[in-house]
């Protein structure tokens, strides 16, 4: 009897099957009251495989039936260990692993890395292993655009005699490669945010019929859903796939939701505006422009699921505005989005004569943002407990400092603001109110590209706090106040890229939150 | 017979008038077919003054009639000289002086500078004289908000016995000061963008009744309209004056348009969203947020009048996001807005214990943006001829560079984009297309906070061009290509704050546009 770790993979291969369909038959797994069914997928001539991820410990009996070939057996599922925390799930406006472990996405982007040479793919894996990234956006299909002029060695399908893609004949060389890369990512603790369709295409994958598209997706589910680190991204820039309608996209989302028994994350990425809210959508995967910065709050409100800004431009120096962010701007966007309650994704596009740019092909990272993203990641992971987005004490940021004057000179204005139409007041507050991420015993505020020379903290009078100023670029934490209580003013360095971390000291006077060296 | 320079001021005082109304009577000025009529305004007990700006040369006969006191006379209007180019008018999406001279607004903001000590006001004038600014946003009424806790020495009106403002009794000490300051600004070539109402008020000026407001405006017109450098700004943040309705604002605009015989510029400044288009509105005066960056293009399209971003945050270090821009960001916003076809306004808010911040009180400039704004101003004024906003050659910025490859890898995507719904395509293009300001023989492109390492220029094949790279922060111009023609790639420094100026060389091969040392 095979022993499988919870969230691990059980596989069973059946040969001599009289079929050549991409998916066939079914396997039923039973563990007490729990019943799970998956399809087999083609792995060779007359050869099919069952792939199953048990999510409950104990004995699972299985029955496999593929074109009349019947198999039975039992597997034992034992507790997960080490870095295996299960799959990532949405949890309110955040994510977590199945076993409850914290997961905060720090993604990167290598659209077509699996379509490059073996050597380059291995280099990418090495670079990822040395990076902070725990999610990667990657396409099934190859990519065509500037710096993407090479053809891959193999494609997901073989061709018909007329040259059209035959989605009923998966190219198994390709799928074995994809298996291998997803598994490697899993070993590195990296979620594979797999982009199923995209428009940057010169081979015809963007033009598949709806029937062919669904056949392809069924194969994806049968073959890939058992990987605990798989996410389904229906599209990159879905609006640019003009062959597909909203009904088509909804059909994919509904089909994945139904056929993927594990309920992996499903999203769809836009070019113009986020895809409307749908039941099958587990989180938002948004491309946004610099002018959309303040919309993160609105999207959180509107969608009530995690908001991932999966594309906000790339660190680089290309002659395209989406590909020439400074490293500081990239890091700033991570902080900005995180401190509006969203999550952000990295990419890198430095011009190279060999056209090997990380954003498309992987390889090596040349930029300066990754270490700073690692700093932010370590900081966020070090903060205890559940976090949420909060307004600053409900105090208006424009409120006058009344320390030096008896008169609150802004009070009449604020009174008038209180009488303003709600929509106007909301718009105003969305722009001016500072927000913070807070846990039970800490809060983190980021000052954006602004550079205040001081901050007024409004702390509980009967508790003690410590304040640290964080330099997001130089990756330093410096104490700026200890034993703070009540309303207190602290000095800030008056430079861009500053954040402040306020931590409550334990009531015994001892600091229960040790300063973490990150 | 008095001789007055065109766009200068003719004044005539009548004493012993049996009235104490703020405005009285009328004066009619005739020059051939041209007839102009203005009201007299109170300047003392029983004393009224007529103030008139002749806009045509020649002899003007006038008849003055104030409460039965009749006067007649003739004045001779002679050509304007020196820096006197008349008033500033809207000209399509730009501005010009009445005599045709170019005017490009480079404004600053000192809301309450005339409400400070005499010494501080003089310091402000001195600072302005050493600055690049040729427009100033300033309030008639004093200002109440953080750093604005002091009361002025005098107010525009005297009070009634019950303590309410008596708009029928202007405080002449105040208005003499205002006269003096507007004249001083005029001598410096600075337009006084006079804010007539604003909400940051603790004295009650924001609560004037509609009748009182109109009385006040009539006095403003009679007294101030003859200054060639006056602009009417109905409000700062008009939405925050909850006592006033859209009808009220329209009444002010219509009244000014009707009573101001010179047709000075009229605008109204918002906090949330620009005031809707109106006939009385000569240009947009917009407060915008960083998230509105791309809207300058939309507003140009929508309003078809000059778009002035009169508030986009201030260089400073306050703990408010509107008041803690870095100098670089302030300069960047000037370039960004200018290169989207709009105009931008400066302000400065560095925390000071003495509360003398330029943005409210004037005084001295401490920031680093003003010299860079001067550099941009000198550059723009040095470029010959009429300018307009243009797309880059109609070429798509995402178009593949086909130099190194036979295959245009992006072509299928672009073909698909061409088939996209118009709205979607427009949205896309608004974000990605580079724009340039261009004249007949030059164009200027700004790369935003992006930092491309090269640019592909698409120049006429049968002409010769010179390209210079401009560093907006270090204020340098460096030649990066001479005798350029056709499609050519030039190297760029791959840093934020870069612009490129391309100038056509004369056909004889001689450069008719000398490099200007600015």
Task: Collect all residues of chain A within an 8 Å Cβ-Cβ radius of residue B206.
Answer: 412, 416
Q: Quote the CA–CA distance of B195 and B245 in Å, as a whole number.
A: 17
Q: Copy the structure tokens of residue B187.
A: 């001598």
Average pLDDT by stretches of 10, chain B with 518 residues: 97 96 97 97 97 98 96 97 97 96 97 98 98 98 94 97 97 98 98 97 96 98 98 95 93 98 97 92 89 77 95 94 94 93 97 97 98 98 88 49 46 66 63 79 92 93 96 97 94 96 78 44
Helix (H) / strand (E) containing A331: helix A327-338
Q: Quote the CA–CA distance of B391 and B339 in Å, as a whole number.
A: 11
Q: How many angstroms separate the Cα of A332 from the Cα of each of B192, B312, B459?
A: 38, 20, 36
Q: Copy the structure tokens of residue B114.
A: 């005339």
Task: Collect all residues of chain A within an 8 Å Cβ-Cβ radius of residue B202.
Answer: 407, 409, 411-412
Contact A201 B412 (CB under 8 A): yes
* A91-382 placed in CATH 3.40.50.150: no
Helix (H) / strand (E) containing A108: strand A107-109
Q: Does B432 touch chain A (CB under 8 A)?
A: yes
Q: Does A427 touch chain B (CB under 8 A)?
A: yes
Q: Quote the CA–CA distance of A182 and A45 in Å, as a whole number.
A: 24
Task: Collect all residues of chain B within an 8 Å Cβ-Cβ radius of residue A272.
Answer: 424, 427-428
Estimate to the nearest angstrom the gap between the alpha carbon of B180 and the chain centroid: 21
Q: What is the DSSP string of B144-174?
A: -BTTB-PPPS--SEEE-TTS-EEEEEE-HHH
Q: Does A414 touch chain B (CB under 8 A)?
A: no
- A512 confidence band (pLDDT: 50, 70, 90): very low
Q: Quote the CA–CA distance of B53 and B34 in Å, as a whole number.
A: 13
In Å, how far is A112's CA from the nearest CA of chain B? 14
- A59 confidence band (pLDDT: 50, 70, 90): very high
Q: Does A415 touch chain B (CB under 8 A)?
A: no
- A109 confidence band (pLDDT: 50, 70, 90): very high
Q: What is the pLDDT of residue A26?
A: 95
Give residues 93 to 152 of B whose Cβ lies within 8 Å of A: 144-146, 148-149
Task: Collect all residues of chain B within an 8 Å Cβ-Cβ radius of residue A206.
Answer: 412, 416
- By the 8 A CB rule, do A46 and A16 touch? yes
Exposed / middle / buried, residue B32 (Cβ in 10 Å: 0-12, 13-18, 19+): exposed
Q: Quote the CA–CA distance of A326 and A319 in Å, as a whole number.
A: 13
Q: Does B451 touch chain A (CB under 8 A)?
A: yes
Which candidate from B317, B417, B494 shows the least CB-CB separation from A317? B494
Closest-CA residue of A relative to B410 is A145
Q: What is the CATH number of domain A2-78?
A: 2.60.40.10
Q: Copy the structure tokens of residue B243.
A: 């006592």
Percent of chain A topping pLDDT 90 = 81
Three-state DSSP class for residue B353: coil
Task: Collect all residues of chain B within an 8 Å Cβ-Cβ radius of residue A326.
Answer: 449, 451, 496
- By the 8 A CB rule, do B104 and B308 touch? no
**Ranges in chain B annotated CATH 3.20.20.80:** 88-382
Give residues 458 to 497 of B whose Cβ lies within 8 Å of A: 494, 496
Number of H helices, E strands in chain A: 10, 30
Between strands A157-159 and A165-170, the pairing is: antiparallel
What does the DSSP 8-state code read for residue B100?
S
Task: Collect all residues of chain B within an 8 Å Cβ-Cβ radius of residue A239.
Answer: 420, 424
Task: Collect all residues of chain A within an 8 Å Cβ-Cβ radius of residue B400.
Answer: 145-146
Contact A449 B295 (CB under 8 A): no
pLDDT tens digit string along A414-440?
666 666 666 666 666 665 667 889 999
Contact B420 A240 (CB under 8 A): yes
**Ranges in chain B annotated CATH 2.60.40.10:** 2-78
Among B371, B324, B333, B330, which residue's Cα sits nearest to residue B351? B324
Q: Does B453 touch chain A (CB under 8 A)?
A: yes
Q: Does B319 touch chain A (CB under 8 A)?
A: yes
pLDDT tens digit string along B19-45?
999 999 999 999 999 999 999 999 999
Q: Does A246 touch chain B (CB under 8 A)?
A: no
**Could you give the residue ranges of the DSSP H alpha helices within A195-287?**
210-224, 246-259
pLDDT tens digit string along A183-197?
999 999 999 999 999
**Ranges in chain A annotated CATH 2.60.40.3950:** 388-397+433-504
pLDDT tens digit string along A438-495?
999 999 999 988 999 999 999 999 999 999 999 999 999 999 999 999 999 999 999 9
Three-state DSSP class for residue B223: helix
- By the 8 A CB rule, do A516 and A503 touch? no
pLDDT tens digit string along A112-149?
999 999 999 999 999 999 999 999 999 999 999 989 99
Strand partners, A34: A31
Task: Collect all residues of chain B within an 8 Å Cβ-Cβ radius of residue A236.
Answer: none
**3-class DSSP string for B41-64:** EEEECCEEEEEECCCCCEEEEEEE
Among B432, B444, B426, B428, which residue's Cα sits nearest to residue B387? B444
In Å, how far is B486's CA from the nearest CA of chain A? 18
Give residues 329 to 358 of A whose Cβ lies within 8 Å of B: 329, 350-351
In Å, how far is B321's CA from the nearest CA of chain A? 6
∠ CA A200-A203-A207 to the nearest 5 degrees?
75
Contact A145 B453 (CB under 8 A): no
The residue assigned the tokens 């056929």 is: A259
Which candidate from A271, A412, A420 shows the least CB-CB separation from B144? A412
- By the 8 A CB rule, do B136 and B190 touch? yes
Three-state DSSP class for residue A256: helix
- By the 8 A CB rule, do B322 and A432 touch? yes
- By the 8 A CB rule, do B517 and B488 touch? no
Contact A453 B401 (CB under 8 A): no
- By the 8 A CB rule, do A13 and A43 touch? yes
Which candidate from B294, B318, B416 shows the least CB-CB separation from A199? B416
Q: Quote the CA–CA distance of B307 and B297 in Å, as a whole number.
A: 9
The residue assigned the tokens 């704050």 is: B497
Q: What is the pLDDT of residue B507?
A: 64
Chain B interface disruption, residue of A147, A243, A409, A424, most B CBs within 10 A: A409
Strand partners, B120: none
Give the CA radius of gyration of chain B. 25
Length of chain B: 518
Which candidate from A295, A428, A496 shows the least CB-CB separation from B271? A428
Between strands B191-197 and B230-235, the pairing is: parallel
pLDDT tens digit string along A366-407?
999 999 999 999 999 999 988 888 866 544 444 444 443 434
Closest-CA residue of B relative to A198 is B413
Task: Collect all residues of chain A within an 8 Å Cβ-Cβ radius of residue B271.
Answer: 428
Three-state DSSP class for residue A378: helix
Three-state DSSP class for residue A314: coil
Q: Copy the structure tokens of residue A481.
A: 């106040």
Contact B240 A420 (CB under 8 A): yes
Pick the CATH number of B387-397+433-518 from 2.60.40, 3.30.70, 3.30.160, 2.130.10: 2.60.40
**Could you give the residue ranges of the DSSP H alpha helices within A339-433?**
358-361, 369-382, 411-418, 422-432
Exposed / middle / buried, residue B121 (Cβ in 10 Å: 0-12, 13-18, 19+): buried
| Interface A:B, Cβ pairs < 8 A | 184
Residue B487, CB-side half-sphere exposure with 13 Å CA sphere: 5
Q: Cα-Cα-Cα-Cα dihedral of A373, A379, A383, A387, to 10°?
A: -30
Q: How many angstroms separate the Cα of A207 from the Cα of each of A197, A212, A268, B231, B232?
A: 10, 10, 18, 58, 58
Q: Copy the structure tokens of residue B78.
A: 């002679």
Q: Copy the structure tokens of residue A439.
A: 């846990």
Which residues are within 8 A (CB) of B82 and not within 5 positions of it... i.e. 6 or more apart?
none
Task: Collect all residues of chain B within an 8 Å Cβ-Cβ radius of residue A432.
Answer: 320-322
User: Other CB atoms closer than 10 Å to residue B359's CB: what's the count?
Assistant: 27
Chain B interface disruption, residue of A243, A244, A272, most B CBs within 10 A: A272
Which candidate from A201, A291, A455 shows the least CB-CB separation from B293? A291
Q: What is the CATH number of domain A388-397+433-504?
A: 2.60.40.3950
B172-187 and B118-129 helices cross at what angle (nearest 10)? 20
B172-187 and B210-224 helices cross at what angle (nearest 10)? 50
Q: How many angstroms separate the Cα of B54 from the Cα of each of A52, B35, B87, B88?
A: 90, 11, 11, 15
Q: Copy the structure tokens of residue A214.
A: 């669904």
Give residues 174 to 213 of A whose Cβ lies within 8 Å of B: 199-202, 206
Which residues are within 8 A (CB) of A66 and not within 5 positions of it... i.e. 6 or more apart?
A14, A17, A19, A24, A25, A26, A40, A48
Which residues are within 8 A (CB) of B80 and not within 5 positions of it... i.e. 6 or more apart?
B5, B6, B7, B8, B86, B99
What does the DSSP 8-state code read for residue A145?
B
Q: How many angstroms separate the Cα of A167 from the Cα of each of A67, A213, A217, B274?
A: 20, 8, 10, 53
First to last CA, chain A: 45
Chain A interface disruption, residue of B318, B416, B487, B489, most A CBs within 10 A: B416
Pick the CATH number of B88-382 from 3.20.20.80, 3.40.250.10, 3.40.720.10, 3.30.70.60: 3.20.20.80
Which candidate from B326, B450, B494 shows the least CB-CB separation from A321? B450
Between strands B165-170 and B157-159, the pairing is: antiparallel
Q: How many angstroms separate the Cα of A394 from the Cα of each of A391, A399, A429?
A: 6, 11, 11
In Å, how far is A186's CA from the nearest CA of chain B? 32
Q: How many angstroms separate the Cα of A338 from the Cα of each of A303, A394, A438, B36, B78?
A: 17, 20, 12, 62, 65
First to last CA, chain B: 45
Q: Copy the structure tokens of residue A447.
A: 């000052």
Contact A145 B420 (CB under 8 A): no
């Amino acid at each position: 009897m095979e022993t499988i770790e919870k969230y691990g993979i059980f596989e069973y291969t059946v040969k001599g099957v009289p079929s050549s369909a991409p998916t066939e038959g079914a396997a039923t797994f039973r563990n007490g009251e729990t019943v799970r069914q998956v399809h087999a997928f083609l792995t060779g001539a007359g050869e099919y495989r069952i792939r199953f991820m048990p999510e409950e410990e104990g004995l699972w009996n299985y029955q496999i039936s593929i074109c009349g070939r019947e198999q039975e057996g039992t597997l034992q599922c034992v507790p997960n260990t080490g870095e295996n925390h299960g799959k990532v799930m949405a949890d309110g406006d955040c994510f977590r692993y199945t076993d409850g472990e914290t997961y905060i996405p720090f993604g990167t982007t290598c659209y077509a890395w699996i379509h490059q040479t073996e050597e380059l793919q291995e280099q990418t894996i090495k670079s990822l292993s040395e990076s902070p990234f725990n999610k990667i956006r990657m396409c099934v299909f190859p990519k065509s655009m500037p710096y993407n002029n090479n053809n891959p060695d193999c494609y997901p399908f073989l061709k018909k005699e007329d040259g059209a893609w035959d989605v009923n004949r998966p190219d198994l060389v390709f799928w074995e490669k994809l298996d291998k890369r997803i598994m490697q990512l899993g070993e590195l603790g990296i979620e594979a945010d797999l982009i199923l369709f995209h428009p940057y295409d010169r081979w015809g994958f963007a033009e598949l019929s709806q029937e062919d598209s669904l056949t392809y997706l069924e194969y994806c589910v049968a073959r890939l859903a058992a990987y605990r680190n798989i996410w389904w991204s229906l599209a990159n820039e879905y609006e640019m796939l003009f062959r597909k309608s909203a009904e088509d996209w909804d059909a994919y989302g509904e089909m994945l939701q139904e056929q993927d028994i594990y309920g992996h994350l499903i999203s769809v990425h836009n070019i113009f505006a986020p895809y409307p809210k749908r039941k099958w959508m587990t989180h938002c995967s948004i491309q946004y422009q610099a002018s959309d910065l303040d919309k993160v709050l609105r999207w959180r409100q509107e969608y009530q699921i995690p908001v991932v800004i999966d594309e906000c431009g790339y660190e680089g120096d290309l002659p395209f505005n989406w590909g020439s962010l400074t490293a500081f701007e990239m890091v700033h966007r991570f902080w900005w989005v995180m401190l509006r309650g969203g999550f952000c994704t990295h990419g890198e596009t430095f011009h190279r004569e060999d056209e090997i740019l990380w954003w498309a092909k992987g390889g090596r990272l040349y930029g300066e943002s990754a270490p700073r993203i690692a700093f932010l990641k370590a900081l966020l992971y070090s903060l205890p407990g559940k976090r949420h987005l909060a307004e600053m004490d409900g105090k208006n940021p424009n409120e006058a400092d009344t320390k030096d004057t008896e008169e609150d000179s802004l009070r009449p204005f604020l009174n008038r603001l209180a009488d303003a139409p709600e929509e106007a007041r909301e718009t105003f507050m969305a722009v001016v109110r500072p927000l913070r991420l807070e846990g039970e015993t800490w809060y983190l505020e980021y000052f954006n590209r602004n550079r205040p020379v001081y901050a007024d903290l409004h702390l509980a009078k009967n508790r003690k706090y410590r304040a640290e100023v964080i330099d997001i670029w130089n990756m330093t934490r410096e104490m700026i106040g200890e034993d703070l209580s009540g309303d207190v003013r602290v000095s800030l360095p008056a430079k861009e890229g500053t954040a402040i971390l306020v931590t409550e000291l334990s009531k015994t006077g001892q600091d229960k939150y040790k300063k973490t060296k990150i």
